[in-house]
Amino acid sequence: MAIFENLPTKDGGVDYYVSTYVDGLSDWKTVRLESTTQSAVILKLPQVSIIKGKVLNKDGNGVKDVTVYANSQSFRYSYAYTDAQGNYELKILDHNPGETYRVQVSLNSGSKLFPSEVKNGIAVGSENVDFTLYPGATIYGDLKSSNGTPISNVQVYSSSSSQWNRSVSDENGNFDFGDVFGVGTHQVSVWVDGQHIYENVEITLQDISSA
C-alpha cells in the first residue's frame, strides 16, 4: 500500500494520475482530489497466463530471434521472440476463460526457413507448443511455344496468401524461383502474347521436410 500525503489542491479539485508498473505490467487511474477529502485508489495488475514452447530447425537445434504470436477469437493478441535455444513464452493478459488461441510463427521477408504448421485450439498454460522450421521447396519449369520452341526472357510470377516471387526464363525457356516456398498453394503465372497462363502448385509438409 502506498500513501500520498499533503498533495497540493485547490477549489474545484485537482486531477491526479495514479499508476503502478511491475515487471512490465501496469495499471492507472485518474482521481480528483478535493481540498477537504481523501481518496482511496485500487490498482489492479492484469492477470497473466502463459503459452510456451520451442522453435527448432529440422536438425533439432533451437532457432534464435523468431517471432511467435498468438491470437484468439476475441482478438486478444500476444507475441514473443525466441531466445538462443529457440525457447519462447507468450504472455496472455486477462485471458477469457474457455477461450483458445491460434499460435504461429512469423518469419521475416526473404527467410528461407518455413514453419511446418499453424497450431489451433491452444489453451493457456500449454507447454511444448513447438514448431519445426524447414528449408523452402523449389518451384521450377520451362516455357515453350506450341511447336516446342523455348520462350526466353519472359517474367514468371508466383503468388500466394503470404508470398510473392519473380523469375525470368533463360535462353532455353527454363525458370527457377529457388528454395523460397513454404507449405501452401502457390499460383505460378506468365503473360505470353497477351495470354495469361497460370497453374496452381501445392507445396506440402512432405515437400519441405524432405528438401
Q: pLDDT digit string (tens) for 157-174?
A: 999 877 788 999 999 999
Cell of 191: 503473360
Task: Label residue 28 by pLDDT band (50, 70, 90).
Answer: confident
CB neighbour class for 115 (10 Å; exposed up to 12, middle 13-18, buried from 19):
buried
Q: What does the chain come to in residues?
A: 211
pTM of the model: 0.67
Cell of 20: 503502478
pLDDT (0 to 100) of residue 110: 59
Which residues, including other chains, have CB under 8 Å from residue 67's CB and lie 6 or more apart? Answer: 79, 80, 81, 105, 106, 107
pLDDT at 211 over 70: no
pLDDT (0 to 100) of residue 90: 95
Which residues, including other chains, have CB under 8 Å from residue 172's CB and lie 6 or more apart? Answer: 142, 150, 152
pLDDT at 131 over 90: yes
Residues of the chain with pLDDT > 90, as a percent, come to: 47
pLDDT at 4 over 80: no
- The alpha carbons of the chain give a radius of gyration, in whole angstroms, of 27
Q: How many Å separate Cα 135 from the centre of its chain?
A: 18
pLDDT at 120 over 70: yes
pLDDT (0 to 100) of residue 184: 85
Q: What mean pLDDT is predicted for residues 184-198?
A: 91
57-106 confidence digits (pLDDT tens): 989 999 999 999 999 988 888 999 999 999 999 999 888 888 999 999 98
pLDDT (0 to 100) of residue 50: 93
pLDDT mean across residues, the chain: 87
Residue 78: closest CA among 32, 42, 129, 31: 129
Of 38-42, 67-71, 173-177, minimum mean pLDDT range = 38-42
Q: What mean pLDDT is predicted for residues 122-150?
A: 92
Residue 81: closest CA among 72, 92, 89, 73: 89
Residue whose grid cell is 499460383: 187
Q: What mean pLDDT is predicted for residues 192-199?
A: 90
Which residues, including other chains, have CB under 8 Å from residue 155's CB and lie 6 or more apart? Answer: 166, 167, 168, 190, 191
**Strand residue runs (E) in the chain:** 14-22, 25-33, 48-57, 67-72, 77-81, 87-93, 101-106, 113-115, 119-122, 131-135, 137-142, 155-159, 164-168, 174-181, 184-192, 195-203
Cell of 80: 514473443
pLDDT (0 to 100) of residue 16: 85
Rounded-to-integer distance, Cα 190 and Cα 151, Å: 11
Q: Reduce the DSSP state of residue 151 to 3 states and report it.
A: coil
